Structure formats: C-alpha cells, structure tokens
C-alpha cells in the first residue's frame, strides 16, 4: 500500500524496479548536464541522493519543499554514497519559500530550534532522536514480553502523589457559573471558574508505580511507559515538566539484586538495538561489561575520602543521611567509567513505600547512575509487611485512610515485590549523545515554557 521509505529502499539489495519515493528536499545542486538533490523522509539520517536531467528537476524544487519522485535506485558511481536514485519523473508537492524557510542549511542553534519546534524534526539530529525513541520502545516491548510481563495502561489523573515530593499539577475543570449560561459567552475564560471535578482533589500522575503495584498483585509482572508530570522548577538539562517513564513492577522478588539485574538486562537489550539501528556510539553505557553495585554507605565513604583530597571540586560535602548531590552522582559514575547501581540508601531520603532493611536505617532500593548524566533509574523492593508499612505512613505524615487500598494489596495475598522507573528522555539522551532532555522529546515542556 505504501511506497518504500528511504531507509527501506537503501537497505534493499541491488537495483530497484521503477518506484515512487516521497520526501523533503535537504539540498539541491544544479549543473549544466546534471542536477542533484538530497531527499529525506525522516526514516534514516543520510537521505537519498537523487540524480536528474536538469530539465526534469522542477524550478520550485528548493530546500524544504516536499517532492514526489519516480525512478530507479542504482549503484552510485559518485563518492559519498553507495546508491543513488535516477529520476524519471519529479513533482513538487508542496513548495517552500527558500527565503523565509526557518530551517536553513547552515548550523542552527539549539535555542533557535526550540522556537521552531514544529519544524525542528526536519533537522537530522531530531530525526535520529525520534527514531531512537521508537526503537527503544520496540526493544523494551520485546524484552518485557520475552520475560512474561504484561503491558498495562495506568491512570494519568490520580489522587496520590506517589513520590511525596509535592511537585504535582492539579486537575480542575473549567466550569461556567449557571447564571452566566446563555447570558455571557461560554467561551470567555474570565467568566469560567476552576472547579473540583471529582470527589477529591485530583493531580496529574508523577509515577504509575502504586497503580502498577495493584496490577502486579494479580497479573504478577506488569510494565508501562506513561507520561509523568512534575511541577519541578529546576532548570537543568535533565528535567522536564512532562516526561515519560518506563516502569515495571513484579511479584515474588527475592532481593533488590533481582531488580538491578532486570534493569541492567532491559537497558542493555534496548541500547544495543538502538545503537545498531542508528549506528550510535553508546560507549557511556559499557554494554559489554557488568555494571558495578555499591552501597550508599560505601559510596558516602568514597565521596568523603575524595572530598578530603586536594583535587575535590565538590560544592557540597557528602555526609551519611544526606542526599547525593548531582555532582556526587556524576563523580561516582565518572570515576568508575561505568553505569553504577548505588543501593540501600538511608531510609530518611526515600519515599514511604520502600522496604526497610534489617538494619532499620536503610531501605532496599537503588539509583542507577550514568557517567556525565547522573540518575537514570530508581527502584526498590516495596514494603510488603503491614506493620512496617503503617509505621512508614505515620513517619511520612500520610493519611492511612487514603492508602487503605494500598494496604489491602498486603492484607489479601501480599507478596514480596519490587520494581523500578526509568526516565525515558534521559535514556534517549545517553544513547544519542544529545545533551539536554529538551531535545530528546519532540515537544518539550519545562517551567516557564510550553511551545505548541
């Protein structure tokens, strides 16, 4: 039904039959006896070199125009590409004024492209990002399917703040007061009142974990990739207000090591697939080596010892019981030259749901840290023992009535269970080498900025 994509065409062996190709023009070169155009349809990064008799290249075939070609793919005599497309017929489908086209050929700054985010997917790097997201997603589905997991959809509108960070967006309806109906314009936003829609305050989800726990208590192994929303004001290259999280949750775990192994295998499988599809350098992930584990307590010891040396550049001094600062996280992973699982953090630093260790000071959890990036994944065993869960709810000042459904999962056939959440845009950043997560999603949102 569809003509081949340029990727499909270029990867097919030998010369092609007469076929149609569609795409956008990246560059045009007219010579006396021949004309060339590079066409791309977003399916690959290199594009297709099209060769024309000069009179067959339409006058309005300019950079950015969409074009339909009919011809044959042949081995290229020229350097720079293995194959080229000999054009018999060409038709500009949508012209593009080369003077005002925002995506000019010269290098465009990241800031400029953010302002053009409706057109920036035409830039090669953004095409690679979009395809990498797709390949990762596909590989994660394959991985979890092969391990007997079921994909589940979880709510976007929720009543809980899973992480207890208080960085939620609230959901209200815009309601026109009854007296205004028919009298005032219903479209006039100044006449509309924000109003609670449900029977309790509602928020956009920050994590699907608690809902996944309920599903894991019946379907054993579940996962999702859901949008998550956090009203974080941090202006960093790792934070978005709307991002995607790959989360998995499963019953009958034995130790936190079970969760680390799954995270390591899933990421290695997905990253290998993505690097093969786009020929990307994913050295930062050290795919051929096992990733080290280090406890939070040992990590603090190493950080303290580095901090007491003259070469320390830390702004914050590392202390047991305090959060690892982003500089500490980056140093740990960079000095090891590998992703590293930091396990068993002080319970005072982590949310209510993490399982308390026997020392009663630390919890069975980990953060996966990546050189240059910092935290990519967080996971834990979940507290399945009711008395401990009750104590944790009290300690965090949470209302037990609100969490009675969560306690039921322990009360009625509870199991030791655990899971993790991986920041999808952060993974895309490590894999593509694109530094800021704002370029790892097509239409980013962050504090103070929402384009489109």
Residues lying near ligand 4AD in the complex (CB under 6 A): 162-163, 207, 209, 230, 232, 239-240, 243, 245, 247, 375-379, 419-421, 423, 425-426, 437
**Exposure string over 292-307, b if 16+ CB within 10 A, otherwise e:** ebbebbebbebbeebb
363 strand-pairing partners: 356
Name which of Mg ion, ligand 4AD, none residue 426 binds, using a CB cut-off of 5 to 8 Å depending on partner kind: ligand 4AD
- Give whichever of 247 and 278 is closer to ligand 4AD, judged by the CB atom: 247
**Burial class of residue 75 in the structure, from the number of CB atoms within 10 Å of its CB (0-12 exposed, 13-18 middle, 19+ buried):** exposed
Closest approach of Cβ 238 to ligand 4AD, in Å? 6
Closest approach of Cβ 289 to ligand 4AD, in Å? 21
Instruction: Say how many residues touch Mg ion, by CB under 5 A.
Output: 1
Angle among Cα 113, 169, 110 to the nearest 5 degrees reads 10
Q: Does 378 bind Mg ion (CB under 5 A)?
A: yes
- Give whichever of 65 and 241 is closer to ligand 4AD, judged by the CB atom: 241
| Binding region for Mg ion (CB under 5 A) out of 70-78, 90-98, 254-262, 372-380 | 372-380
- Give whichever of 42 and 378 is closer to Mg ion, judged by the CB atom: 378
Name which of Mg ion, ligand 4AD, none residue 162 binds, using a CB cut-off of 5 to 8 Å depending on partner kind: ligand 4AD
Q: Assess contact for 318 and 303: CB atoms under 8 A.
A: yes
| Binding region for Mg ion (CB under 5 A) out of 48-56, 65-73, 346-354, 378-386 | 378-386
- Give whichever of 84 and 163 is closer to ligand 4AD, judged by the CB atom: 163
- Give whichever of 54 and 372 is closer to Mg ion, judged by the CB atom: 372
Spatial strand order in the sheet of 242-251 = 150-151, 221-229, 242-251, 417-423, 374-382, 365-370, 340-343, 293-295
- Residue number, nearest CB to Mg ion: 378
Rounded-to-10 torsion of CA 373, 377, 383, 384: -170
Query: Applying CB under 5 A, which residues contact Mg ion?
Result: 378
């Amino acid at each position: 039904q569809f003509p081949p994509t340029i990727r499909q065409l270029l990867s097919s062996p030998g010369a092609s039959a007469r076929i149609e190709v569609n795409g956008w023009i990246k560059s045009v070169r007219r010579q006396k006896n021949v004309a060339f155009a590079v066409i791309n349809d977003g399916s690959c990064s290199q594009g297709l070199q099209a060769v024309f008799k000069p009179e067959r290249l339409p006058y309005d075939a300019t950079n950015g125009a969409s074009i339909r070609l009919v011809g044959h793919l042949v081995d290229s005599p020229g350097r720079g590409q293995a194959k080229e497309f000999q054009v018999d017929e060409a038709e500009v489908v949508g012209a593009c004024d080369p003077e005002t086209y925002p995506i000019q050929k010269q290098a465009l700054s990241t800031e400029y492209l953010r302002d053009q985010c409706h057109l920036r997917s035409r830039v090669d790097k953004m095409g690679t990002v979009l395809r990498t997201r797709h390949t990762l997603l596909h590989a994660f589905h394959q991985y979890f399917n092969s391990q007997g997991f079921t994909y589940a959809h979880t709510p976007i509108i929720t009543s809980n703040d899973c992480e207890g960070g208080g960085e939620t967006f609230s959901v209200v309806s815009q309601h026109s007061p009854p007296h205004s109906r028919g009298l005032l314009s219903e479209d006039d936003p100044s006449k509309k009142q924000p109003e609670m829609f449900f029977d309790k305050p509602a928020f956009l989800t920050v994590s699907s974990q608690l809902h996944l726990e309920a599903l894991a208590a019946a379907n054993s192994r579940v996962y999702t990739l859901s949008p998550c929303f956090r009203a974080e004001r941090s202006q960093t290259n790792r934070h978005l207000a709307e991002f995607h999280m790959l989360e998995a949750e499963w019953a009958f775990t034995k130790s936190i090591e079970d969760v680390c192994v799954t995270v390591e295998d899933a990421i290695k499988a997905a990253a290998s697939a993505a690097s093969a599809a786009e020929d990307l350098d994913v050295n930062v992930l050290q795919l051929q080596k096992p990733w080290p584990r280090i406890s939070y307590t040992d990590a603090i010891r190493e950080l303290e010892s580095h901090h007491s040396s003259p070469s320390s550049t830390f702004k914050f001094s590392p202390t047991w019981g305090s959060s690892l600062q982003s500089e500490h996280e980056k140093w740990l992973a960079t000095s090891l030259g590998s992703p590293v699982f930091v396990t068993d953090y002080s319970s005072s630093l982590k949310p209510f749901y993490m399982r308390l260790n026997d020392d009663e000071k630390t919890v069975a959890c980990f953060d996966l840290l990546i050189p240059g990036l910092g935290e990519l994944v967080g996971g834990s065993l979940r507290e399945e023992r009711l008395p401990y869960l009750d104590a944790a709810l009290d300690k965090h000042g949470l209302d037990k009535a609100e969490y009675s459904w969560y306690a039921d999962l322990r009360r009625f056939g509870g199991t030791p269970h655990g899971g993790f959440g991986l920041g999808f845009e952060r993974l895309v950043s490590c894999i593509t080498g694109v530094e800021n997560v704002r370029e790892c999603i097509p239409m980013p949102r962050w504090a103070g900025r929402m384009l489109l």
